[in-house]
Chains A and B, each alone.
Chain A
Amino acid sequence: MEYLSYLVATGISTGALYALVALGIVVIYKATQVVNFAHGEMFMLGGFFAYTFHVMLDWPYLPSFALAVALAFGVGIAVDRVAFRPLMQRQTLVSVLLVMIGLSFVLKGVARWLWGGKGDYLTFPPLISPEPLSFAGIMVMSQQLVVLGAACAVMVAFALFFKLTRAGRFMQATADNPKAAKLVGLRTDRVYMYTFGVGSAVAAAAAVLMAPLTLLYPDIGFMLFIKAFAAAVLGGLTSIPGAVVGGFLIGIIEQLAAGYLHTAMQEVAAFIVIMIVMIFIPTGLFGLGRMRKV
């Protein structure tokens, strides 16, 4: 029982980070009908930006966090301008997908070039003392609690952004009905650009929160992307609450799979969930009940 609660607690804190990455995938998919296959690289870059400021330049954690998120926002905008917008104007969804996949390799290469040669795996100092705490008999790492709290704060900020700000409303409206958005005078190309920016910023926030718990390496984006994509698919791919629930579920499922089946299952669990969802509940838990082509 204690082992189970430990696994679940760990699953919840990593799941919160998957949820953040999944949010970006869902927001971009809802607005543009494109799965951003380079989204994991936004996570990876966010982590390396924070590493540069916090570890290499020895800046405090919070300013490093803020700057990494801001830079990732800029990278998201660049992705829109360089890869998405020029291709979407020619109406070729398949080309956009291929370019996104290509872009993810390019960004990995750039990361290796910029941050390589320092050993394959970079360590990020812990946020607070790594002492475990005991809650009602459940052992939790205090760092995990901090990460979970911060991830939830980012989610709430994200939700408030959509509910309360004009930009958030415009994004929601464009995702809902792009033609109507144009007819009320929204510049939908700008909305898409900011959507890419916001999605990347949230992925970077997840990376900077996760960095003290794990190791950074240029290929980290792909694994995170697969897990977040599984979370998004589980949640229905178009549902923001679905992405959050999906993220937590994937986090818990992979911990249970690793704890009770085999440690190797941790990396495979997300793929299995994607397959099962695709076959048995193709619209996901919170899906719209209609299928769209990816």
Chain B
Amino acid sequence: MLEVRHLKVWYGVTEVLRDVSFEVPEGRIVALLGGNGSGKTTIINTLSGLLRPRAGDIVFDGADVAGRPSDHMVKAGIVQVPQGREVFASMTVNENLELGAATRRDRAGIRDDVDRMYELFPHIAERRGQRAGSLSGGEQQQVAIGRALMARPKLLLMDEPSVGLSPIIVDMVIETVRALHARGLTILIVEQNVGVAAAVAEDAFVLKDGAIAFKGDAPGLIDNPEVLSSYLGR
């Protein structure tokens, strides 16, 4: 579904991604791991069209989408749940969900999907008229995931969904990711937390200094002391 080949991304004069290649097959959950500054968020923001690569291909559903702006990526089906949730804080939960469908025009479909989100996240259904900024971190995470799903993504990008959340909420996020996967959604999850990645993902790529340093199956990572110590600083 997604194939990234020899991706190079620069921030001004700094090369952040040197040469990154990996693939996300349809229907899989793939984890991208790495320490701080390894380039994980850069990859996800490039896939979302927030950053332009200097070189390399991003092939999605057979088309090269590298360098396209964010609205194209969303329409193509690549949608991001950003790190730190980034909800529209001054707007209601309901408005946040509706804005997730900003690129869609089918009113009836949007309305049905909003109801579906409330079925998936009954907890935020009770707070649909509340400002998203007044919710707890876990509730905001649900709003952020719901908002991304409203665009009907083919590939969901999740940037550190466990960061800043309590262990109970992290379990909830893991459950949600599994439930979405069971419905056939393809997911690329970026994590610093190896436990979360090992719990949900099937394949894993480990990033170090802007390049892929290791690839393997995700559940096995936790028993791989070499990977843990050399790449993830454990």
Contacts and interface: CB of A to CB of B under 8 A. Distances in A.
Contacts of A187: 69, 71
Interface in A183-223: 183-187
Contacts of B187: none
Contacts of A172: 88, 90-91
Which of A173, A181, A183 has the largest number of chain B CB atoms within 10 A? Answer: A183
B166 interface: no
B87 interface: yes
A169 B88 CA distance: 11
A177 B87 contact: yes
A176 B74 contact: no
Given A169-B99, A177-B86, A183 B70 contact: yes
Interface stretch (B3-11, B24-32, B52-60, B75-83): B75-83
Contact of B71 (A173, A176, A185): A185
Q: Is the interface on chain A under 10, 10 to 19, 20 to 34, or 35 or more residues? A: 10 to 19
B13 to A, nearest CB: 15
A191 B15 CA distance: 31
A183 B69 contact: no
B147 interface: yes
B11 to A, nearest CB: 12
A169 B102 CA distance: 10
Nearest to A180: B86
A200 to B, nearest CB: 24
A185 B70 contact: yes
A170 interface: yes
A179 to B, nearest CB: 6
A184 B103 contact: yes
A185 B91 contact: no
A187 B82 CA distance: 18
Contacts of B73: 185
B138 interface: no
Contact of B103 (A169, A176, A177, A185): A185
Contact of A173 (B50, B75, B88): B88
Pairs of residues from A and B, 7 with the lowest C-beta to C-beta distance, nearest first: A185-B74, A185-B103, A180-B86, A182-B70, A185-B71, A176-B88, A184-B102
Contacts of A186: 71, 99, 102
A136 B102 CA distance: 51
A184 B147 contact: yes
B88 A179 contact: no
Contact of A183 (B48, B89, B90, B98): B48
Contacts of A183: 48, 50, 70, 74, 79-80, 82, 86, 148
B151 A185 contact: yes
Nearest to B90: A176
Given A179-B50, A184-B74, A185-B75, A173 B86 contact: no
Given A173-B99, A177-B86, A177-B88, 10 more contacts: A172-B91, A173-B91, A179-B82, A179-B86, A183-B82, A183-B86, A184-B102, A185-B103, A185-B151, A187-B71
B39 interface: no
B161 interface: no
